[in-house]
Amino acid sequence: MLKVRDVFTTITNDFPTVAPSADFEEIFTSFQNMNPLFRSIFVIDIDCRLKGTIPVSKMIKGFSLKKGIRTRHSYSVKSLFQLTSSHMTAEDLMVKCPIIYQDDSLEEALQFMVENNVDELPVLDENKRIAGHLNIFELLQNFD
């Protein structure tokens, strides 16, 4: 039975990261320069432990608000403050995300993706440090 560790670097062997203290410009630059297969940036601490992720959808909302683009979407006061604050950091934007471990089976990873409605997952090692990223295409290419 194949494990996550056997396939998680077959398409995407590098993954975008920022520190929790990264400002909006640094985060935006990371999004501009990352592989388009990724849909989020990992927020990691100094020990390479995953703190959360910043989905591209949340970054687009913040960017559009900063550019003055109006949408029909309503925001809570807290969200508006976070998305428009000049002191906004990665820690303000990040969300908790589902994770998997290198030793999880591909079946477990697929089940987790379906249950959480995601098409990518951060992969952690046995020390709970970020080891990489599992993309749905890496998963699908390795199922019979």
Round to whole Å and give the CA distance between 123 and 8: 8
Of 28, 26, 35, the C-alpha closest to 16 is 35
Residue 82's pLDDT is 55
Going from the first residue of the chain to its last (144 residues), give the mean pLDDT of each consecutive group of 10, the final group possibly shorter: 88 86 88 85 93 85 67 57 66 89 94 90 91 89 80
What residue ranges define each of the domains in the chain, with the CATH number in brackets? Answer: 4-140 (3.10.580.10)
Of 139, 140, 138, 142, the C-alpha closest to 13 is 138
Residue 65's pLDDT is 66
Residue 139's pLDDT is 87
- How do residues 109-124 score in pLDDT, each as one tens digit? 999 999 998 888 999 9
**Which pTM does this prediction carry?**
0.80
Residue 74's pLDDT is 59
Residue 61's pLDDT is 73
Task: Give residues with Cβ within 8 angstroms of 135, minimum separation 6.
Answer: 11, 12, 37, 38, 119, 120
